[in-house]
Structures are given as C-alpha cells and as structure tokens.
Structure 1
Amino acid sequence: MHLSRLAFLAPLTLALAACGNADEPAAGASGAVEGEAIAAIPAPAGSSWLEIASKTEQGGFVLGNPDAPIKLVEYASHTCAHCATFAETATAALQEEYISSGRVSFEIRPIFLNPLDVAIDVLAQCGTPTSYHGLSDQVWGSLDQITGTMQNNPAAFEAAMSAPPEQRFVSLAQAGGLIDFFAARGLSADQARQCLGDTAKIEQIANQSQTVAQADEVTGTPTFFLNGRRLDGNTWAAIEPALQSAGAR
C-alpha cells in the first residue's frame, strides 16, 4: 500500500490491510552490497551487542554495534502482516548469527499506516531504546489478536478517534487492549497513558517518520536498506544472502 499523510490529531478511519506484497521487490531496488568477509567484532567487556540499542537521528531504533560495518534498516509498520512475517522468520537468526557478531546492526524505522500503528509505536517508544525491538517483535507475534480486537469493535474505535486530541490515543489503546498488553511486558498503565496523551510528541514522531520515509522514497512496508542502498525483496530469504554478500560471513 502507498503511504499517505495522516492527520494524526483528527478523526481517522481504521485500515489494517496496509502493507506491501512480500513477494515483490521494493520499488526502485538497487540490489546487493558486495564486500569482503568481515571478522566478528567483540562487544564491550561484560556486555553483548544484543543489549546495546539507541534511537537514531532518523527516529528509528538500532540494535547492536552502532559502528557496525554492515547496517540493515527496515521501514516497518506494526500493523503490517508482512512485517510480522519477517519478524517471525528473521529475528532469531538475525540476532544470534549477525547482530551478536558485531558485524551487523539492525534499525527499525516506524511507518504509520493507520491510527493503531501510532498507538503501538508510541507505547513501544515509551520504554527504553533497548526494549523497542523486543516489544515490536511481541506485537508482531500477537498481531492477529491485536488487530482482531479493533476490527471486531469498530464502534469503540470510532468513539476513540472522535475524542479530544489529548485523549484520542489513550482511548484507542484502551479499546484495543494495548495498555494491558504493554503492562504485561513491563510498561505501567500510568506511563502508557502519559505517553499516549503527549500530543506534541506524537505529532513530532509522526512528522519525522513521514519526512524520513519520503526522503528515502519509501512507499510501502517492509522496505529494507543495506548500508544506504535499497534492497531487492523484503523477506528473510532475500535479506540474509544480502547480509552475507556484504561481508557478514
């Protein structure tokens, strides 16, 4: 699906079938990055690269060695089924075989296709950078449950999106069971409500997401870049060989 500007602080309609075809290459793909084999890079003493994460200037969250010679970036939507499939098929191998070696870092840059995306990402960002990837993977692992709750309760969704701006995403998250979902994973309900009620921060996150995606000509999710070059394909079967070709071997 093509991305369009969302008036995040105005009433919106719900659209959940909103991501690209996992069998098609990303538009404008430029292919693999070639490189010599790279030796593993030790993490700082007493730590693992899987414990190191930070927020980037582009509004994404990078996991692993921030100076890794191979940098994988995924533009992803938390309500995109193909993004969920990538998380399910790729996360274990990507972390254990590539990120943990220090050769590869992995950045998720959020894309918002609908209001539920906004609420989920705000909650994922409400914790620390080190929790963002894990929370995102857990959302994708429960995507059918999360989206099904909203699709089965359209009246609650419409009521939430008609609420005053500072209450809008709190109401949406409550209707979708997201506050309880994140509370079970360490984010308190009070902290969740505080983050969801910060309309200025939400608008800043949304605007930055759109600006960065437009600069990279991203029109659907998931879309991958490796060392700044757009990759062909958007499945783990396509991404892993690209990592190896770039030197992660």
Structure 2
Amino acid sequence: MTMQVRGSKLAARLTASMAALALLGTGAVALAQNWSTTVVASDNGHKVGNPKAKTKLVEFMSYTCSHCADFAREGDAAIKLAYLPKGDVSYEIRHLLRDPFDLTAALLTQCGDPKKFMGNHNAIILSQEDWFEKGRKTTRAQQARWQFGSNGARRQAIASDLGFYELMENRGYTRAQLDKCLIDEAKANALAEASQADVEKYGLTGTPSFVMNGALLDGVHNWAALRPVLDKQR
C-alpha cells in the first residue's frame, strides 16, 4: 500500500513536470519570434516589425539629408535591437524626395525583394559621405548627363557617377536588374506622388521627421529626441 501511494505521488510529480516542460516549450517558441526580421513593402517605403504593433513609428527621410545619415547610424540599430523584437513597435521608413538624387537612391533601395530593403537602405545612407564626395568631384560633362535625356537615363547617369551601381552590385544585384529599377517610370511617379501626399498630410517641413500612431512628433528630428518618446511606449 505504501509503495502504491509513493508510486501515485511519483506519477503525479512526473505529470506536473511534463506539463511544466510543455508550458516552457510553448514559451520558448514564443520567445523565438523576432519581429525585427519581418519586412513588408508599403506605398512609399518599407515597414519593419510586427504589422499589428500597438506603436507604429514612421520616419520620413531623404538620402541627401546629412541628419538622416546621422539618425541611421545612431537610431536604426537601436530600434531594431531594442524596440522591434517583441512586436509592440513597428518602424516604417518612407521617402521624402527632395531631388533626382533622392529618387535615384530610393528606386535602388526598393529594387527587388522587400526583405532586401534594409540592407539596401543601409548600404546607401551609411555611405552618404563617400558618394557626396564623388558628386563633388564630377565634371561638368557628367553633371550635364544628369539633366538631359530621358528620366531613366538621367538616373542611370547619377547611379554611375555617384557609385550606386558598385554599392548595389556588391549586394548581389546585376547591372540589368538595377537598370530595370532605375527606368521604372511608373514606380518613380508613384514614389514622387506618395512623397508629396505625405508632405501635405502631415505638414512635413524637413527630414528626418517622425510620425507615431498617425501624429507628427513636433520638434523630434534626431535619435536623442526620439528615444525618450519611444521609451514611454514600452
């Protein structure tokens, strides 16, 4: 009888232990979900993170904006590592186009699979000073190619003279793939129209600017100002 009681207790403990392990296993699966690797295309950019996050952050940026490059260096990695993984914050990068250089860069960053966007974005924005320098060293003949010919040909000239082709080829693209994206006039027009619509909708006056849950964050234009706002949402 004693052995039966002890056996029953042992069986109960084993059952409880197995249940606990099952719950732990379920928790482990949940913890394995890292939303920072989820990227979906939007009408004027790309959203990283949980599409259903309660806090939706949107950055309006320009590739020719030095402050946007500063934000990319200081804020992008921090957002990806500290705010996106759990799924309560999403981060969308949208293009505020200021000139043909912006449009050329935006078309290239959006070229191909949406999953490639963040890598493309970082490759161009983080090397901004390098291609700025290339631009400063261009000849008048090169600059003339940026202003004459078809829109696609102008963008191809910009991409060649500023080193965009080389940057993107290092990411696995072929020249033919890049040219296809650069001469996509429908995509170029869509980006320009969406950019103008965003300016009018939110009253944007500069870059980077940030919108959180549909409201423009007044006076927030860098990581130091944005970080405490994000921390309040955690």
| TM-score when normalising by structure 1 | 0.77
Give me the identity figure in percent: 31
Aligned residue runs from structure 1 range 147-162, under 5 A: 147-155=132-140, 156-162=142-148
Q: Residues 107 and 44 from structure 1, CA distance in 2 versus in 1: closer, same or farther, beyond 3 angstroms?
A: farther
1:92 matched to 2:77? The reply is: yes
Please state whether the residue corresponding to 1:207 is helix, strand or coil: helix
Q: Alignment partner of 2:205: what SS?
A: coil
Task: Return the letter of the residue paired with 2:103.
Answer: V
Is contact 1:77-1:111 (8 Å) kept?
yes
Counterpart among 26, 30, 38 of residue 52 in structure 1 = 38
Alignment partner of 1:108: what SS?
Answer: strand
Letter in 2 for 1:118: L
Kept in 1, the 8 Å contact 2:57–2:211? The answer is yes
Report what 2:153 is aligned to: 167
Query: Does 1:212 find its partner at 2:198?
Result: yes
Q: AA paired with 1:233? A: V
Which amino acid is 2:34 matched to? S
Q: Evaluate the alpha carbon distance shift between residue 43 and residue 114 of structure 1 in structure 2; reply closer, same or farther with a 3 A threshold.
A: farther
Q: Choose the corresponding residue for 2:167, options 181, 184, 187.
A: 181
Separation (CA, whole Å) in 1 of partners of 2:112 and 2:36? 17
Per-residue deviation at 1:229? 1.6
> What secondary structure, in the 3-state scheme, does the structure 2 residue paired with 1:126 have?
coil
Q: Does 1:126 align with 2:76?
A: no
Distance of 2:33 and 2:97 partners within structure 1 = 33
Q: CA deviation at 1:45?
A: 8.7
Aligned match of 1:240: 227
5+ unaligned residues in a row in structure 1: which ranges? 1-41
Please report the RMSD computed on the Cα atoms of aligned residues, expressed in angstroms: 2.0
Give 1:79 shift: 1.3
Counterpart of 2:13 in structure 1 is none
**Alignment partner of 1:145 out of 120, 130, 152:** 130
Greater mean alpha carbon deviation, residues 147-156 or residues 109-118: 147-156
SS in 2 for 1:221: coil
More helix per residue: 2
Distance 2:179 2:106 in 1: 13
1:73 aligns with 2:96: no
Give the 3 Å change call, closer, same or farther, for CA 166–217 of structure 1 in structure 2: same
**In 2 relative to 1, CA 169–233 (structure 1 residues): closer, same or farther, beyond 3 Å?**
same
2:77 partner amino acid: A
Shift in Å, 1:43: 8.9
**Separation in 1 of the partners of 2:160 and 2:187?**
19
Match of 2:95 in 1: 110
The structure with higher relative contact order (CA 8 Å, sep 6+) is 1
